[in-house]
Chain A
Amino acid sequence: MAKPVRVQEPVALHAADIGLTPRRLVGMTLSVGLGLIFVLGMIGGIMKAAQGNLIQLQPGTFYALLTLHGAGMISTVVLLTAVALWYVLHDHLSLRPDMLVFSVVAIVWGLVAATVAVLVGGFGPAWTFLYPLPFMGTWPSWSTGLFFFGVLFVGVGFAIFCFDLMAGIIRTYGSIWNGLAWDTWIPRLRRPDGKVAPPSVIAASMVAIDGLITVAAGSVLVVALLAHWFSPKFPIDPLWIKNLTFFFGHTIANLAIYVSAGVIYYILPKYTGRAFHTNKVYALSWAISLFFVPWAWPHHLYMDFVQAPWLQVGGEASTYIATIPATVVTIFGSLLLVYRSDMRWRPGSTLFLAGILGWLVGGVAAMLDATIPFNAVLHNTLWVPAHFHTYLLGGVFLFVLGFTSYFVGERQTPGRLVKAIEWTFFTGLVGFLLMFYAGGIEGVPRREAVQPPPGPILADIATGFVAILLVGLVAMLIEFWVRAKRNAANGEAEGL
């Protein structure tokens, strides 16, 4: 007879051991991350102004800034959403603060390395760094290597986060399958105490598994690029590395949305007074996303005629299959949670619901672009940045801001000033996004320092909206800061 395996409880690790409480750690990370988003947003505004001929930028400088903006924004958004999910689940899953420190430090180091490579070295092949461009530019070789080391560090940071998340889920629910709530479908998996994972844990389980798959792809990608950098004899197939770049880059950006879903499942019920409940539909829809999200990347490579047809068709099918279940379940679930509830409108709840709208609009725009006949027209136009700015800036980033507002405490009903700040922010956001879509419809090419008409006039208008957006963002961050100080002085923590 097999001996029963007795597993000891987790090492009691007090946050004080590393001199930080979880709240302080998350607060510091949010401050740094939101500050970075503001700076990277400014860079975005500068690029728009240059495209609109309002200021002059050398093309090399433009492409270097484009690289920093893209790589920096994705890394920072991943960092912020990961920290938000960590915070809402750390008690429930016994997640460790020291692991979060390792994760944050690795990602920040990655960002610093990428920034130095771009600002000092002038590295500028865009965040996609498609081979062989990183090795052919006018920038020095060290900046190429440093940038790839930066990407490696970001991947390591995300891997640490995923491993700890997975450990916490297994510790609490016995297995990752129970974390995905597959026990709702498979009776054999059910725990004796009948405990079923809540929706936020289902989302976290999906992120942990797909996150590790993404990191595995990213590590092969970066090791291959670094090997080529060390020794140019190391052969690289351009199509293979392009597939790998989008496997890693698209999936990690995509996962930021699914991380956010875990935060929504936890926080939105606080405003509505109703809870999300795990059921078979939730478990099934997240299982479908688990399997198909890592297969959506080929929709970036429709123009690569040598790509295997099964990958092209598979990419289109996976995009549809992956996005519909979880988004529909989350969006409909959220609307049903709000409908006829005793909703408490606070800046956080407004930002969360606006973010859900951005997720929906950006997701539909993405699916249009991922549909092969549409892609033949929209590919390489401003439609592409339009859709990902909608779901990242107008979706995921709003969830981060919503979480921050909840985190600093929202006991008071918002006054007129707060509403004015929100209107300013949303006006800038919507106007900015509309100019991108207009450019896409007009066929204005993306990733170009100099654009044909009507690109420059649209960029001029967009620059104005970016300025309004950034003013709104700064005002919002100052309001958060003031509220955090006031609530801390009153001894009030997060929540309503």
Chain B
Amino acid sequence: MRALQRAWPLALGLLVAIDLLGPLAFGAAAPPLALHHLEHAFLLVSGGLFAMAYVRRRPKPYGDPLWILAVIGLGTLSLVLMLPDVYGIVDAEPVLHTLLHVGFLVIGWLGGYAAERYAPKLGFGWQLLVIVMGVITATGFGSGPPVA
């Protein structure tokens, strides 16, 4: 059990690295939109998990309410970055696309960190938020019949 606790950041880090660098290295085609949204959710959640593990080793006093505002703002920012107008800029450029995915990982980390700074274990609240948002966006965010 303890070995598993030690190994999960490594295993998750490996998965994140494959997800980020795989398309660059092997030139894989972009996945379908739904899967792409879930990929973003995976990066956000992974970032959040790393942040929770980081803060657990460095407990801090209960923080300022602004940390919670940051959590909410970061959640909204992650959605804004998935808008076609924004995403379209990087979609055709593999390097920029990968950088944006790194951005999702960073947002996930910051969101998890901010939640944990407000109160220990509140990172789970952030994870809940991004998982639900990820699943919902996968069901149809940014897709629909063409607008006349």
Q: Which residues from chain A sit less than 8 Å from chain B, CB to CB?
A: 2-3, 5-11, 96, 98-99, 102, 156, 159-160, 162-164, 166-167, 170-171, 175-176, 208-209, 212-213, 215-217, 219-220, 223-224, 227, 230-238, 240, 244, 247
Query: What is the bound-complex CA distance between A159 and B145, given in angstroms?
Result: 32
Residue of B65, B72, B137, B144 touching A98 (CB-CB under 8 A): B65
Give me the 5 closest cross-chain CB pairs, A-B, nearest first: A167-B119, A237-B144, A240-B140, A216-B132, A235-B144
A240 (CB) vs chain B CBs: closest residue: B140
12 sampled A-B residue pairs with Cβ under 8 A: A8-B61, A11-B63, A96-B65, A102-B68, A163-B115, A167-B62, A167-B125, A175-B121, A209-B128, A227-B85, A235-B142, A237-B145
* Residues B61 and A235 in contact, CB atoms below 8 Å apart: no
Q: Residues of B contacting A220 with CB < 8 Å? A: 79, 133, 136-137, 141
Given contacts A176-B124, A234-B83, contact A224 B141 (CB under 8 A): yes
Query: What is the bound-complex CA distance between A160 and B70, given in angstroms?
Result: 11
Query: What is the bound-complex CA distance between A170 and B122, given in angstroms?
Result: 8
* Residues B56 and A240 in contact, CB atoms below 8 Å apart: no
* Residues A170 and B119 in contact, CB atoms below 8 Å apart: yes
Q: Residues of B contacting A98 with CB < 8 Å? A: 65
Known pairs A163-B125, A232-B147. 4 more at Cβ < 8 A?
A10-B61, A99-B65, A212-B125, A217-B136
B63 (CB) vs chain A CBs: closest residue: A11
Shortest A214–chain B CB gap in Å is: 9
Q: Which residues from chain B sit less than 8 Å from chain A, CB to CB?
A: 2, 5, 56-57, 59-63, 65, 68-69, 71-72, 75-76, 79-80, 83-85, 115, 118-122, 124-125, 128-130, 132-133, 136-137, 139-147
Given contacts A223-B76, A223-B79, A234-B85, contact A99 B133 (CB under 8 A): no
Shortest A205–chain B CB gap in Å is: 12
Query: What is the bound-complex CA distance between A244 and B135, given in angstroms?
Result: 12
Shortest A179–chain B CB gap in Å is: 11
* Residues B144 and A236 in contact, CB atoms below 8 Å apart: yes
Q: Residues of B contacting A176 with CB < 8 Å? A: 121, 124
Shortest A295–chain B CB gap in Å is: 12
Query: What is the bound-complex CA distance between A244 and B122, given in angstroms?
Result: 26
* Residues A171 and B137 in contact, CB atoms below 8 Å apart: no
Q: Residues of A contacting B76 with CB < 8 Å? A: 219, 223
* Residues B122 and A5 in contact, CB atoms below 8 Å apart: no
Q: Residues of B contacting A159 with CB < 8 Å? A: 72
* Residues B122 and A163 in contact, CB atoms below 8 Å apart: yes
Shortest B80–chain A CB gap in Å is: 7
* Residues A163 and B71 in contact, CB atoms below 8 Å apart: yes
Q: Residues of B contacting A3 with CB < 8 Å? A: 57
A221 (CB) vs chain B CBs: closest residue: B136
Q: Residues of B contacting A11 with CB < 8 Å? A: 61-63
B84 (CB) vs chain A CBs: closest residue: A234
Query: What is the bound-complex CA distance between A240 and B80, given in angstroms?
Result: 18
Shortest B47–chain A CB gap in Å is: 17
Residue of B61, B72, B132 touching A160 (CB-CB under 8 A): B72
Shortest A121–chain B CB gap in Å is: 23
* Residues B122 and A231 in contact, CB atoms below 8 Å apart: no
* Residues A235 and B132 in contact, CB atoms below 8 Å apart: no
Q: Residues of A contacting B125 with CB < 8 Å? A: 162-163, 166-167, 208, 212
Residue of B122, B141, B143 touching A167 (CB-CB under 8 A): B122
Given contacts A212-B129, A217-B136, A219-B133, contact A227 B83 (CB under 8 A): yes
A152 (CB) vs chain B CBs: closest residue: B76
* Residues B59 and A5 in contact, CB atoms below 8 Å apart: yes
* Residues B142 and A234 in contact, CB atoms below 8 Å apart: yes
Shortest B105–chain A CB gap in Å is: 19
Q: Residues of B contacting A237 with CB < 8 Å? A: 140, 143-145
Q: Residues of B contacting A219 with CB < 8 Å? A: 75-76, 79, 133
Query: What is the bound-complex CA distance between A247 and B133, given in angstroms?
Result: 12
Residue of B57, B136, B144 touching A216 (CB-CB under 8 A): B136
Shortest B141–chain A CB gap in Å is: 6
Q: Residues of B contacting A171 with CB < 8 Å? A: 62, 119-120
Q: Residues of B contacting A99 with CB < 8 Å? A: 65, 68
* Residues A163 and B68 in contact, CB atoms below 8 Å apart: yes
* Residues A170 and B56 in contact, CB atoms below 8 Å apart: no
Residue of A7, A217, A244 touching B120 (CB-CB under 8 A): A7
A213 (CB) vs chain B CBs: closest residue: B132
Q: Residues of A contacting B145 with CB < 8 Å? A: 235, 237
Q: Residues of A contacting B120 with CB < 8 Å? A: 5, 7, 170-171
* Residues A6 and B59 in contact, CB atoms below 8 Å apart: yes
Query: What is the bound-complex CA distance between A33 and B37, given in angstroms?
Result: 39
